[in-house]
């Protein structure tokens, strides 16, 4: 999630070529899911799409794999089959998968204190914070209290040490408050303490490598040439910028310490760092495969990674509430499972209230519906202004369920 776009009162759109009604769409779409293709094409025609991809799996098989538009703001580089893009907080789903893999193997107890694995974390009254509180954004550590620069965010040891030392903003376990950037360091450090690997390397060893999934936390230099350029969302009215400045400290810490926008996310420094809450890079095909592990009740591509019981645990509701950080940007109460958001009565991930997934700031998403056996991923480079439920994403989700 980006705070920089939210804060600025005025900004010009990056110059680019406007998507035309006849933007070609490439790839494969099973005829049963023609509605998804139609919605994807309509995003270019009606919703000012620049470059994007969508993928759907059913029972572990890819039934939609489409891409189109431009990978750069100027409209000179076509979006290709292997174009990757930063998916912001859609990264959090794969990071949660890492924790659930360890828990399923008996190496991590989600009901144990975090300090049982990370002793330094017990400082400042956090000895009772449980692992499940990290996964459900209920640890009270939505953002750091002391100023934290972008360069410091790139320093894993420094960032995790400051999180271990700080006092919570609210009583842990009582309410959810979105941990926009800190989530990845908190869950990721537990993964590292248990497995010896940071989440990016653990995910590669256990999931993306064996299954050939084109997704990384951060972006290896070898892949920089196929990365899409992120384009900022429209400028927000001055009144919204003023309202942002009045957010409570826990929310401002989450969204603006440090401020991160598309300029930073397009930089070599951001791409080289490991920020497991916000800088996963991949294709839509890859994201659909990762969320497909949850949709397949632990199985994907003929390989079992999680037990069905572990998938059920991942979508255990942790209590509905108005999010302490995102409350003003979301309509009413929401509910988190252990690492992902539940579709619930909002229908963010389709009509099944027990479907679950995660949106990334600006529009991307990953969705898993074990009852239907489907996963969906949408990735793009033109950022929308919404925190969640971008209209382009919603059109694709609606189209998917109309075809089931």
Which residues are designated catalytic? Answer: 89
Q: Which residues pair with 279 in a beta bridge?
A: 88
By three-state DSSP, how is residue 299 classified?
Answer: strand
Q: Which residues pair with 370 in a beta bridge?
A: none
Is the bond preceding residue 258 a cis peptide, omega within 30 degrees? Answer: yes
The alpha-carbon radius of gyration of the chain (Å, integer) is 19
Helices (H), 215-282: 238-245, 249-256, 262-265, 268-272
Residue among 51, 19, 63, 143 at smallest CA distance from 399: 63
Q: Residue 381 in contact with residue 48, Cβ under 8 Å?
A: no
The residue count for the chain: 404
How many whole angstroms separate alpha carbon 256 and alpha carbon 293?
Answer: 33
By three-state DSSP, how is residue 388 classified?
Answer: coil
Q: Which residues pair with 65 in a beta bridge?
A: 28, 55
Alpha-carbon torsion angle 131, 137, 138, 140, nearest 10: 100
Q: Residue 228 in contact with residue 72, Cβ under 8 Å?
A: yes
Q: Residue 113 in contact with residue 128, Cβ under 8 Å?
A: yes
For strand 299-300 and strand 61-69, is the pairing parallel, antiparallel, or unpaired?
A: unpaired
How many whole angstroms separate alpha carbon 129 and alpha carbon 111?
Answer: 9
């Amino acid at each position: 999630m980006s705070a920089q776009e939210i804060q600025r009162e005025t900004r010009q759109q990056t110059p680019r070529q406007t998507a035309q009604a006849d933007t070609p769409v490439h790839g494969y779409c099973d005829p049963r899911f023609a509605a998804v293709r139609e919605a994807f094409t309509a995003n270019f025609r009606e919703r000012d799409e620049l470059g994007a991809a969508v993928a759907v799996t059913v029972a572990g098989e890819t039934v939609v794999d489409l891409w189109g538009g431009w990978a750069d703001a100027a409209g000179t580089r076509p979006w290709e089959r292997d174009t990757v893009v930063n998916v912001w907080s859609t990264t959090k789903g794969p990071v949660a998968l890492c924790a659930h893999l360890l828990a399923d193997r008996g190496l991590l107890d989600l009901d144990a204190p975090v300090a049982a694995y990370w002793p330094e974390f017990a400082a400042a009254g956090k000895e009772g914070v449980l692992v499940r509180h990290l996964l459900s954004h209920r640890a009270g550590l939505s953002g750091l209290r002391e100023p934290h620069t972008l360069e410091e965010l790139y320093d894993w040891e420094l960032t995790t040490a400051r999180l271990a030392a700080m006092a919570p903003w609210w009583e842990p376990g009582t309410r959810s408050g979105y941990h926009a950037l800190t989530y990845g360091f908190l869950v990721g450090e537990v993964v590292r303490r248990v497995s010896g690997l940071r989440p990016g390397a653990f995910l590669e060893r256990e999931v993306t490598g064996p299954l050939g999934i084109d997704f990384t936390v951060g972006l290896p230099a070898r892949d920089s040439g196929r990365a899409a350029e992120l384009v900022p969302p429209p400028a927000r009215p001055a009144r919204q910028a003023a309202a942002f400045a009045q957010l409570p400290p826990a929310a401002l810490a989450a969204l603006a310490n440090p401020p991160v926008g598309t300029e930073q996310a397009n930089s070599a420094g951001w791409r080289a760092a490991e920020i497991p809450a916000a800088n996963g890079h991949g294709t839509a095909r890859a994201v659909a495969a990762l969320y497909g592990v949850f949709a397949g009740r632990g199985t994907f591509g003929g390989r079992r990674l999680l037990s069905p019981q572990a998938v059920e645990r991942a979508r255990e509701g942790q209590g509905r509430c108005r999010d302490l950080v995102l409350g003003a940007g979301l309509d009413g109460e929401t509910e988190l499972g252990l690492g992902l958001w539940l579709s619930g009565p909002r229908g963010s991930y389709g009509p099944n209230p027990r479907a679950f997934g995660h949106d990334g700031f600006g529009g991307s998403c990953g969705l898993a519906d074990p009852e239907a056996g489907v996963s969906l991923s949408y990735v793009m480079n033109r950022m929308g202004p919404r925190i969640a439920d971008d209209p382009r994403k919603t059109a694709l989700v609606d189209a998917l369920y109309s075809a089931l």
